């Protein structure tokens, strides 16, 4: 049992109104892996350069992340530099140096190929399909994407969506992908393309899940964002959310509606912790007791009873 994640490992330099960090460990696969590791065994497939620091490898191994699929290539690890200004929902990219990631070709180790839970990080949709073709009969495949692929690889992305059970993207990407200004109309259109569940990340406004009932009626579930008093760095929040969601489903080995709803809340819990410090600093010190306590706070936050008239 466990979850397979394929994505990027990077060194991030990030500036927000509350401070900055240089060359901090990041990347979609890293944030996902650390978050998911609170619930399930994680098997990571990615590439790094020979400059990948031993202490960063140790961090992942200390979270029981299996690194048999982490390829070390002659060259430098992917670098990203960005900043957040007043709108913490959107990062401005200042520099991107793909380095060894530019030639990344996912190679799924044999022992990973029978895993039931697969997450395709934000990479070229052609590479995402290559991953799916290497796993045998996954019970649940989820993926992320971004405007870059929607604009430049639309047809390839459409082919990938046919092979995906859950699509996890933000509200801007949802509307752009469907070419619809209305989120509900956009969701209905995307659900007709292959995914059976669409999870829309809405930043400080929470998360909305869309799916279709057997009678093709639209089913909607939403949770607010946890009210964090101090947000230092949103980098990796979306991947931490996906890690919590997929890690929970893998850990419980359930994919029914109730499980997916609860997984969304656990994903929101992990994202809320992620933003409280820079890089992985908050997840690094996080305990499962804190995760459980905040999950209960989410239950209180969203609970109400109908008043009899």
Q: Is residue 239 part of a domain?
A: yes
Question: pLDDT band at residue 86, thresholds of 50, 70 and 90?
Answer: confident
User: Averaged over 266-295, what is the pLDDT?
Assistant: 97
Residue 201: per-residue pLDDT: 95
Mean pLDDT of 82-109: 90
- As a whole number, mean pLDDT of residues 86-102 equals 88
Q: What is the CATH number of the domain that holds 254?
A: 3.40.1190.20
pLDDT in tens, 173-189: 999 999 999 999 999 99
Q: Check pLDDT > 90 for residue 257.
A: yes
pLDDT for 266 equals 98
Q: Per the domain annotation, does 183 fall within a domain? A: yes
Domain assignment of residue 308, yes or no: no
- Is the per-residue pLDDT at 132 higher than 90? yes
Residue at 307 is within a domain = no
**Residue at 210 is within a domain:** yes
Token digits of residue 291: 């995760």
Other CB atoms within a 10 A radius of the CB of residue 228 amount to: 14
- Decide if 85 is inside a domain: yes
Q: What is the mean pLDDT of residues 111-139?
A: 96
Torsion angle, alpha carbons of 29, 35, 37, 39, to 10: -130
How many domains does the structure of the chain reveal? 1
Q: Establish if 296 belongs to a structural domain.
A: yes
Instruction: List the strands of the sheet with 78-83, edge to edge.
Output: 19-26, 10-16, 78-83, 92-97
pTM listed for this prediction: 0.95
> Is 188:220 a contact under the CB 8 Å cutoff?
no
Print the domain residue range for 277.
3-302
Q: Evaluate whether residue 309 is within a structural domain.
A: no
Query: What pLDDT is attached to residue 215?
Result: 85
């Amino acid at each position: 049992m466990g979850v397979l994640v394929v994505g990027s490992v990077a060194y991030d330099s990030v500036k927000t109104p509350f401070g900055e960090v240089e060359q901090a460990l990041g990347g979609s696969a890293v944030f996902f892996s650390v978050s998911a590791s609170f619930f399930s065994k994680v098997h990571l497939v990615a590439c790094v350069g020979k400059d990948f620091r031993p202490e960063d490898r140790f961090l992942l191994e200390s979270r029981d992340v299996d690194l048999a699929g982490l390829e070390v290539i002659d060259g430098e690890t992917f670098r990203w530099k960005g900043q957040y200004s007043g709108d913490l929902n959107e990062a401005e990219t200042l520099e991107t140096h793909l380095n060894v990631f530019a030639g990344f070709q996912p190679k799924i180790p044999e022992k990973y190929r029978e895993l039931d839970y697969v997450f395709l990080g934000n990479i070229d949709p052609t590479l995402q399909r290559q991953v799916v073709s290497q796993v045998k009969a996954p019970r649940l495949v989820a993926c992320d994407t971004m405007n870059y692929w929607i604009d430049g690889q639309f047809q390839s992305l459409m082919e990938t969506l046919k092979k995906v059970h859950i699509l996890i993207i933000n509200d801007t990407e949802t509307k752009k992908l469907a070419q619809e200004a209305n989120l509900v109309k956009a969701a209905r259109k995307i659900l007709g393309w292959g995914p059976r569940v669409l999870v829309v990340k809405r930043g400080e406004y929470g998360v909305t899940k869309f799916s279709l009932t057997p009678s093709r009626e639209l089913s909607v579930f939403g949770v607010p964002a946890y009210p964090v008093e101090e947000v230092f760095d949103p980098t990796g929040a979306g991947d931490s959310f996906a890690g919590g969601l997929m890690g929970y489903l893998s850990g419980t080995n359930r994919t029914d509606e109730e499980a997916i709803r609860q997984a969304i809340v656990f994903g929101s819990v992990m994202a809320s912790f992620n933003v409280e410090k820079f890089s992985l600093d908050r997840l690094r010190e996080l305990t499962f007791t804190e995760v459980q306590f905040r999950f209960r706070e989410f239950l209180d936050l969203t609970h109400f009873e109908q008043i009899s008239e």
